[in-house]
């Protein structure tokens, strides 16, 4: 028997090694195909000139055209301005949530998260309905306020990026060591001085991370500038104009590569900043207790109410407009904008739901495999796999979508078989948001003690057995959270899929853009409302399921 066991041992080890190799390949090959290869395709396209050879002609064309170069200046101007204001507002909001005793904190937080449930252009649509040429303000007061251009993009993107910043800054402000504050008070520090010398330094890495994340979100956003930008062209809209408007794919590729640079730099810096952050709570820390202060709490409540009122006003006017017969000329209420016979009916919405469900399943499987391989397999290749897994965070959605055209719109490419299908849209969405999902999965796996793996190995448990019987049952709430995350992102995504939709596979978010562009503002508002209703409905259902199983510490919003 001992001889038999000795002979079986190497076979088992080889089989285990093969299984681990298969998992590594299963994680890496899709990332190489659907992330790295499209980036190579768009890079190559940007250097191919008219005669089919390689050269810098396309870049020379771009940088010698003053109108095109202006898009860089415009993008940085609106992105930097929006980032600064968004961070200030988000910090004040997060500070009120975690360092004051204001009432109804959960309600305010839910309202602040509402922009996450809608495509980015919903904010622009709301400002258009409120402050546009035929907006409610101009029609009611006879003013001639013009929201189109820099200020429209600035306001819309501020609301769009605000919940992302609030979530990050809330994480930075949620915990604190009371001993530091007590020491500062004993030394005679005023509240204002304590904020500048204790609170702000303790949250500096969170602030820096939020700055770079918001900057990336704003500079790569396509929906808001497209709806409310007017003649104020930015890099994202110029890519669309060159590719869809003028069929100038080479120049579109050049602009895509230019847009990739600031986004990539911002993501790289943000990751470096995140690594330098140290724990705010240690073994000897004393949790900070918030004591009521009527004057301070009132000021914080006013701040929170103002922010939430702006969000409710802009999203609320979109919902209201969806029931208006002809904005702003006939304000009578009607359900005709929800008529299924209008603009292809509910087809784009059902396609979005199907695509989002597919993206949720594919996304959960792929990010869990990638995260599990990196966390559980000691292999030199896993470092490169980690790089591939977070690389999509640095790739703007429009750049990835454009890369798919260059990479897969070729009958000689096997992936062409699914080009233009719902499956392709789902894959594109998954790998657009892969980095965020991967980091969520990695964080969850890191919380599982290695003793589980060691005990399983001592009892003869294989790699697959440990994953199936131990790891996945422990992290199943995270799997639900990841599924909802991918579903939500897929329902509201626009930039990544704008080049990939077809008349037979159109999506609801794209329909909003097309309807607004055609002047059908109220129907665009109706589709926006339906998207928000679906996303909120799914969120509430799965949050309810988690509560039903006694899981109360998992938030599906963040």
Ramachandran region of residue 448, left (φ > 0), alpha (ψ -120 to 50) or beta? beta
**Residue written as tokens 């509430």?**
540
In terms of DSSP bridges, do strands 330-333 and 324-326 run parallel, antiparallel, or are they unpaired? Answer: antiparallel
Residues 2 and 121 in one domain: no
Quote the tokens at residue 332: 């009578």
Residue 17 shares a structural domain with residue 143: no
Element (H, E) at 121: helix 121-131
Residue 437 near residue 485, CB atoms below 8 Å: yes
Beta-carbon neighbour count of residue 194 at 10 Å?
Answer: 17
DSSP assignment, residue 289?
A: P
516 part of a folded domain: yes
User: Based on the domain organization, do 126 and 48 belong to the same domain?
Assistant: no
Cα–chain-centroid distance for residue 126? 20
Cβ atoms 431, 404 nearer than 8 A: no
Calculate the CA dihedral of residues 367, 399, 315, 231 and round it to 10 degrees: 170
User: Are 276 and 140 found together in one domain?
Assistant: yes
List pLDDT tens digits, range 511-536.
999 888 888 888 899 999 999 999 99
Q: Which residues pair with 54 in a beta bridge?
A: 48
DSSP string spanning 9-21?
HHHHHHHHHHHHH
On whether the CB atoms of residues 496 and 429 are closer than 8 A, the answer is yes
State which residues of the chain have pLDDT below 50: 1-13
Tokens of 58: 């396309």
C-alpha 115/C-alpha 159 separation (Å) is 7
3-state class of 326 per DSSP? strand
Q: Are 322 and 525 in contact (CB under 8 A)?
A: yes
Neighbouring residues of 55: CB distance < 8 A, sequence distance ≥ 6: 47, 48, 49
Domain check: are 248 and 380 in the same one? no
Residue 211 phi/psi, 5-degree rounding, is: -60, -50
Question: Do 101 and 158 share a domain, yes or no?
Answer: yes
User: Per the domain annotation, does 331 fall within a domain?
Assistant: no
Question: Are residue 77 and residue 144 in the same domain, yes or no?
Answer: yes
Do 186 and 309 lie in one domain? The reply is: yes
Give the DSSP per-residue string, 135-199: SHHHHHH------TTHHHHHHHHHHHHHHHHHHHHHHHHS--BHHHHHHHHHTT--HHHHIIIII
DSSP structural state of residue 48: B
Query: Phi first, then psi: what are they for 331, rounded to 5°?
Result: -90, 15
171 falls within a domain: yes
The DSSP 8-state label assigned to residue 287 in this structure reads: B
Q: Is residue 229 part of a domain?
A: yes
Q: Is residue 34 part of a domain?
A: yes
From CA 333, how far away is CA 326, in angstroms rounded? 9
Tell me the C-alpha to C-alpha distance, in Å, between residue 502 and each of 79, 359, 419, 453.
31, 18, 10, 47
Asked if residue 283 and residue 353 are part of one domain, the reply reads no
Would you call 120 helix, strand, or coil by DSSP?
A: coil
pLDDT number for residue 465 = 74
The CATH number for 122's domain is: 1.10.3720.10
pLDDT of residue 11: 46
Domain limits at 177?
72-321
Task: Indicate whether 308 and 441 sit together in one domain.
Answer: no
Structural domain contains residue 61: no
Helix (H) or strand (E) holding 333: strand 330-333
At 95, list the tokens.
């500070």
Count of domains for the chain: 2
User: Are residues 382 and 491 both part of a single domain?
Assistant: yes
The CA dihedral of 399, 402, 403, 409, to the nearest 10 degrees, is: 170
Residue 330 in 3-state DSSP?
strand
What pLDDT, on a 0 to 100 scale, did the predictor assign at position 287? 61
pTM metric for this prediction: 0.88
pLDDT in tens, 188-240: 767 777 778 777 787 888 888 889 889 999 999 999 999 999 899 999 999 99
Q: Which of 287, 321, 355 is the last residue of a domain?
A: 321
**Integer Cα distance of 201 and 494 in angstroms:** 37
Q: Are residues 385 and 519 in the same domain?
A: yes
Cα→Cα distances 491→93, 116, 122, Å: 27, 11, 13
What tokens were used for 87?
């961070």
Residue 60 in domain: no
Q: What pLDDT does residue 86 have?
A: 97
Respond yes or no on whether the N-terminal peptide bond of residue 328 is cis (omega within 30° of 0): yes
Residue 398 lies in a domain: yes
């Amino acid at each position: 028997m001992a001889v038999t066991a000795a002979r079986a041992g190497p076979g088992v080890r080889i089989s285990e090694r093969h299984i681990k190799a298969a998992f590594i390949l299963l994680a890496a090959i899709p990332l190489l195909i659907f992330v790295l290869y499209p980036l190579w395709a768009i890079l190559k396209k940007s250097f191919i000139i008219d005669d089919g050879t390689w050269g810098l002609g396309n870049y020379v064309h771009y940088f010698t055209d003053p109108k095109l170069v202006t898009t860089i200046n415009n993008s940085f101007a609106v992105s930097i301005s929006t980032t600064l204001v968004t961070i200030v507002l988000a910090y004040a909001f997060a500070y009120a949530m975690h360092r004051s005793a204001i009432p109804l904190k959960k309600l305010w937080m839910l309202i602040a998260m509402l922009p996450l449930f809608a495509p980015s252009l919903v904010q622009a649509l709301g400002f258009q309905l409120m402050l546009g040429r035929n907006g409610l303000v101009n029609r009611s007061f006879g003013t001639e306020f013009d929201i189109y251009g820099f200020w429209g993009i600035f306001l819309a993107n501020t609301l769009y990026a605000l919940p992302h910043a609030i979530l990050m800054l809330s994480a930075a402000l949620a915990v604190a060591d009371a001993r530091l504050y007590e020491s500062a008070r004993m030394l005679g520090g005023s509240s204002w001085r304590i904020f500048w010398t204790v609170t702000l330094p303790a949250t500096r890495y969170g602030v820096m991370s939020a700055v770079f994340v918001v900057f990336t979100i704003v500079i790569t956003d396509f929906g808001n500038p497209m709806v409310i930008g007017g003649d104020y062209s930015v890099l994202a809209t110029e890519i669309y104009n060159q590719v869809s408007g003028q069929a100038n794919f080479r120049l579109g590729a050049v602009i895509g590569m230019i847009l990739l640079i600031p986004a990539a730099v911002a993501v790289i810096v943000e990751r470096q900043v995140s690594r330098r952050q140290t724990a705010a709570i240690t073994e000897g820390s004393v949790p900070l207790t918030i004591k009521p202060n009527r004057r301070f709490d009132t000021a914080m409540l006013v701040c929170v109410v103002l922010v939430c009122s702006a969000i409710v006003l802009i999203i609320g006017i979109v919902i209201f407009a969806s029931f208006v017969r002809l904005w702003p000329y006939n304000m009578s209420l009607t359900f005709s904008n929800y008529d299924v016979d209008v603009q292809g009916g509910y087809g784009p919405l059902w396609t979005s739901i199907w695509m989002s469900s597919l993206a949720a399943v594919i996304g959960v499987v792929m990010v869990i495999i990638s995260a599990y391989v990196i966390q559980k397999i000691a292999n030199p290749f896993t470092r490169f796999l980690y790089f591939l897994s977070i690389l999509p965070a640095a790739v703007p959605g429009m750049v990835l979508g454009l890369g798919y055209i260059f990479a897969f719109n070729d009958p000689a490419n096997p992936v062409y078989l699914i080009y233009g299908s719902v499956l392709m849209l789902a894959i594109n969405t998954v790998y657009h948001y892969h980095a965020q999902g991967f980091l969520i999965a990695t964080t969850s796996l890191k919380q599982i003690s290695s003793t589980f793996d060691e005990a399983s190995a001592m009892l003869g448990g294989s790699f697959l057995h440990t994953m199936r019987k131990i790891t996945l049952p422990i992290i199943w709430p995270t799997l639900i959270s990841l599924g909802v995350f991918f579903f939500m992102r897929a329902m509201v995504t626009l930039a990544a899929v704008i080049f990939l939709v077809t008349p037979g596979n159109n999506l609801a978010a794209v329909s909003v853009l097309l309807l607004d562009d055609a002047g059908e503002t109220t129907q665009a508002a109706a589709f926006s409302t339906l998207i928000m209703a679906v996303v909120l409905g799914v969120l509430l259902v799965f949050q309810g399921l988690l509560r039903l199983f006694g899981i109360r510490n998992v938030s599906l919003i963040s």
